[in-house]
Amino acid sequence: MPTLVALLESTRVSAIAWLHVFVLLTWIEFAFPRERHSFQRRLTNLSFWAVTIPVTIASSAYLGLVWRSLGIEPIVNVPLDFAWMGPLSYVFAAIVAAIVGDFFLYWFHRAQHAWLWRFHAVHHSIKELNAVNSYAHITESTFQNLFVVIPTSLFVVDVGPILPYLVIIMRLHPIFIHSPVKLHFGFLRCIFVDNRIHRIHHSIEEHHFDKNFGVFTTLWDRLFGTAYFPSRDEWPATGILEADEPRTVGEWLLMPWRLNQTTGQAGAGKEGTVTQAADAVLELRPVGADRCPMLPAPVSAGAILPRA
């Protein structure tokens, strides 16, 4: 059983790592701004992370303990042997493993919009979206452990040695996609999610609703018909209409129970279901160099999920 000392040490290490992420990305946001946000607001919102980090460490540790006590072993082995690529094999294997993991994140994210919106709305309520202001509700990590970490633990993915710089990049990426900066991935966004792609997911404009659920890759959105590639200057406002973003720790903790129960992305009170969103036609907005090659026709989720 994890001891208090072990949990405190894990919290300390994690907090230091996150602080480095926030400092680096905040510097980038000030150096290459697409929007200018309040520095004071960033400092205030660090209090949400100060609560989230230890709760996440503790809940993950004890959930892992319970899961291991059940003695359930992985049932699928996914060999990723790219030795023929030489030194690049470790990088390529890590990317493939992240894409596989993002499949589970994609469907979890879809479920959040369909059935867990009350909690996920806290993340979508943010109007000044940036690295520090990319917080979610305190329950997010518990839901993610239950619906992503546990299912993926049933798979063994051998990616070989984990290179330190890959760990840093993987830690930076899901926070960077919230940064309001002029830097982006260019043509690589056809495969990897960047800040322009993810901005669409947070948009208050109705034609952006239920788009771009992927966190690491755009491939699953493209395959399941929820991809939207913005034009060069498409940078919508973010937030939801049901509520303003929380200003205090108390508001942040209680916000899910102060919202009217809605489903789908509620930026304008829109209601929907996960299957309705998945049945949408693949929507691309190619403009000049922003053009991305098409994948085969998107798969309808009606064949995957039961109708609500």
pLDDT tens digits, 60-82: 998 888 888 888 877 777 666 66
The pLDDT of 287-306, averaged and rounded, is 51
Domain boundaries, the chain: 4-303
Decide: 143 and 120 in contact? Cβ < 8 Å: no
Q: Which is more confident, 292 or 286? A: 292
99 CA to centre of own chain: 13
The pLDDT of 284-294, averaged and rounded, is 46
**Distance between CA atoms of 274 and 14, rounded to whole angstroms?**
34
pLDDT given at position 299: 59
Q: Regarding beta strands 155-158 and 76-79, do their DSSP bridges make them parallel or antiparallel, or are they unpaired?
A: parallel
pTM recorded for the entire structure? 0.84
Listed residue (72, 109, 147) closest to 278, CA to CA: 109
Read off the pLDDT band of 246 (50, 70, 90).
very high
What does the pLDDT look like over 186-200, one tens digit per residue?
999 999 999 999 999
pLDDT given at position 171: 84
Listed residue (158, 132, 101) closest to 37, CA to CA: 132
Read off the pLDDT band of 293 (50, 70, 90).
low
What does the pLDDT look like over 135-160, one tens digit per residue?
999 999 999 999 998 888 887 666 55
What does the pLDDT look like over 114-123, one tens digit per residue?
999 999 999 9
Read off the pLDDT band of 306 (50, 70, 90).
very low
pLDDT given at position 205: 96
